[in-house]
Amino acid sequence: MNLSKSKTASSTNNSTNNLTSNLTSNLTKATKANWTIRDRQFIWGDRTYLMGILNVTPDSFSDGGQFNSRDAALKQVAQMSPYIDMLDIGGESTRPNAAAISAAEEIDRVLPIIAAIRDEYPDLPISIDTVKASVAKAAIAAGADMLNDVSAGRADPEMLPLAGKLQVPIFLMHMQGEPRTMQINPQYRDVVKDIQQFLTDAISVAKSCGIPKHLVAIDPGIGFGKTLDHNLELLRNLRAFQSIPAPLLLGVSRKSFIGKLCDRPEPSDRLLGTIAACSAGIAGGADILRVHDPKEVAEACRVSDAIFR
């Protein structure tokens, strides 16, 4: 073997790979408009951002009933705040088979918590996790900054027009079915291509409702109407979503597919599996990770960012 030729070929391949990587990175930054929310800048592609989860519900799959009082919520945010870039507050469970609640009940749950957190943390960006326009409107008035809709605006026809009127960022997620039915035999022709098309169409609908493209983020909806194999296929091919010019949110924290893979029936025991899935997400180009355990995931982000970004 000619060692000189081998070194030359290796050098050429490395240069080509580096060039391709740089072009991909630059393309990602060029097509995703950065966000400024309160005093924080979100420069997509520079690093991974963390969205802390605060469920103020009695029945969420992982932490139902733990943070649905003012004091418990504030204590949890105090623990998360050094590590998170934004906070996602939800008042209605979207776990499989979850029962729907009224808008009035959801508002009663989330508004006092949002107001209390806004008083204590005036610069912390807050998103409201809801599919109801009336809840979203009340939450924004109480101090929330963003909307996180797991139905991508399909559950309430007033949601996207509201976001267009308010001109606030919105996260649009893919879900097959609804929480009560989504895990009953979900099927796709091609899970990656189907969800790519869904999210592309969702952005178009949002734009028609007055929401600028630069205010839309996307979420493939891991665990929402997907089997174990669907979730793994999405994570393996997460780079495919870089073709959509929007920040990519990924929610894998404590999900049931991790429990199945690791034989961890209790969601709170899935931290190590969550970190592994989050690192895979960063390798696939995720911009934001939605997590229950930001302190531990933040360290994984630093290492993964250093490797993959």
Q: Quick one: DSSP state of residue 98?
A: P
Q: Helices (H) and strands (E) in the chain — how many of each? A: 10, 10
Is 255 labeled as catalytic in the residue annotation? yes
Is 290 labeled as catalytic in the residue annotation? yes
Q: Which amino acid is at 148?
A: N
Beta carbons within 8 Å of 162's beta carbon, 6+ residues apart: 133, 136, 137, 147
What's the first-to-final CA gap in the chain, in angstroms?
A: 35
d(CA 191, CA 214): 26
Residue tagged active-site, from 254, 255, 264, 270: 255
Least Cα distance to 205 among 141, 148, 157, 274 occurs for 157
* CA-based R_g, the chain, Å: 20
Residue tagged active-site, from 290, 295, 302, 309: 290
Cα separations in angstroms, 144 against 90, 103, 268: 12, 17, 27
Give the DSSP H/E element, type plus range, for residue 90.
strand 86-90
Report, as residue numbers or ranges, the catalytic residues: 255, 290
